[in-house]
């Protein structure tokens, strides 16, 4: 999962996108692009923000690394340590709890043999309980990669673990579960 520091560099295409986003803001305000660019960096460099990655982002913005660290650590979507390729984030707030997410979470823990917040040994799965994702009417639900998987059942969890544990799993794709 560790990427050699010398390889931490956006492709030309990504760099153009980063510049385009920075250009949306008025003169001298390009720091506004920091959150979107950190998302791009996280995705490109192994789904988490290591210190060298954050330093690289700071160099693009010509700001001090600390300005990136303080932002990255504030927001829950930036992973400060490596996560599995399939990162399942279950909403566990009140409305989802009323709709039985706890049973689904427990079932997933048993099936994968890990607890919430942990990663499987093969680094394929990380599971975590998070707070309201704005899908309360379609509970129980989880975010996996770019998408939401809603109205979860134990059968759907079986399918997810089966499909998303494969080598060709693509977190940017919305699977029909």
Partner 1 sequence: MGRKLLLEHANVPEIHTYQVYRAKGGYSAVEKALKMTPDEVMEEVKKSGLRGRGGAGFPTGMKWSFLDRKSEKPRYLVCNADESEPGTFKDRYVMEKIPHLLIEGLICSSFALGSNTTFIYIRGEYKWIVGILEKAIAEAKNAGFLGKNILGSGFNLEIYVNNGAGAYICGEETALLESLEGKRGNPRMKPPFPAISGLYGSPTVVNNVETLAAVVPILNLGGDEYAKIGIGKSTGTKLISACGNIKKPGVYEIDLGLPVYEFLNSDEYCGGIRDGHRLKAVIPGGSSVPILPADLFYKNIKGEERNMSYESLSDGGFVSGSMLGSGGFIAMDETVCIVRNTWTFARFYHHESCGQCSPCREGTGWMEKVLHRLEFGHGHMHDIDLLVDVAKKIEGNTICPLGDAAAWPVAAAIRHFREEFEYHVTHADKVKNSRLAHLDDYKKELVLL
Which residues sit at the interface with partner 1, rule CB under 8 A?
A: 24, 26, 29, 31-36, 38-39, 70-71, 74-78, 92-95, 97-99, 102, 131-139, 143, 146-147, 174
If you count them, how many residues does the chain have? 177
Cβ atoms of 53 and 21 within 8 Å: the answer is: no
CB of 158 to partner 1, least distance (A): 22
CB of 138 to ligand FES, least distance (A): 8
68 lines the binding site for ligand FES (CB under 6 A) = no
Kindly tell me which residue out of 44, 47, 79, 93 binds ligand FES, with binding defined by CB under 6 A: 93
DSSP code, position 71? H
100 lines the binding site for ligand FES (CB under 6 A) = no
**Contact region with ligand FES (CB under 6 A), list: 55-63, 78-86, 88-96, 107-115:** 88-96
96 lines the binding site for ligand FES (CB under 6 A) = yes
Query: What DSSP element (H or E) covers 87?
Result: strand 86-91
Kindly tell me which residue out of 77, 95, 113, 174 binds ligand FES, with binding defined by CB under 6 A: 95
CB of 101 to partner 1, least distance (A): 10
d(CA 161, CA 129): 17
136 lines the binding site for ligand FES (CB under 6 A) = yes
d(CA 115, CA 19): 40
Q: Which is nearer to partner 1, 55 or 102 (CB)?
A: 102
Kindly tell me which residue out of 8, 38, 57, 133 binds ligand FES, with binding defined by CB under 6 A: 133
DSSP letter string over 99-162?
A: TTHHHHHHHHHHHHT--TT-B-TTSSEEEEEE---S-GGG-S-EEETTEEE-S--HHHHHHHHH
DSSP letter string over 42-67?
A: HHHTTSS--HHHHHHHHHHHT--HHH
Tokens in use for 36?
Answer: 């979107």
In the complex, the residues that contact ligand FES under the rule CB under 6 A are 91, 93-96, 132-136, 139, 141
């Amino acid at each position: 999962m560790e990427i050699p520091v010398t390889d931490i560099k956006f492709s030309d295409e990504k760099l153009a996108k980063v510049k385009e986003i920075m250009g949306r803001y008025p003169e001298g305000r390009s720091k506004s692009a920091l959150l979107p660019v950190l998302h791009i960096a996280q995705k490109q460099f192994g789904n988490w923000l290591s210190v060298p990655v954050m330093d690289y982002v700071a160099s693009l913005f010509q700001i001090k690394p600390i300005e990136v660290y303080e932002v990255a650590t504030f927001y829950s979507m930036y992973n400060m340590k490596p996560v599995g390729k399939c990162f399942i984030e279950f909403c566990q707030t009140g409305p989802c709890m009323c709709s039985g997410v706890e049973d689904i979470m427990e079932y997933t823990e048993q099936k994968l043999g890990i607890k919430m917040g942990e990663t499987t040994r093969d680094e394929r799965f990380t599971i975590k309980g998070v707070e309201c994702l704005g899908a309360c009417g379609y509970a129980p639900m989880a975010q996996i990669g770019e998408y939401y998987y809603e109205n979860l059942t134990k059968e759907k969890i079986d399918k997810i673990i089966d499909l998303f544990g494969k080598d060709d799993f693509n977190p940017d794709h919305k699977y029909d579960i």
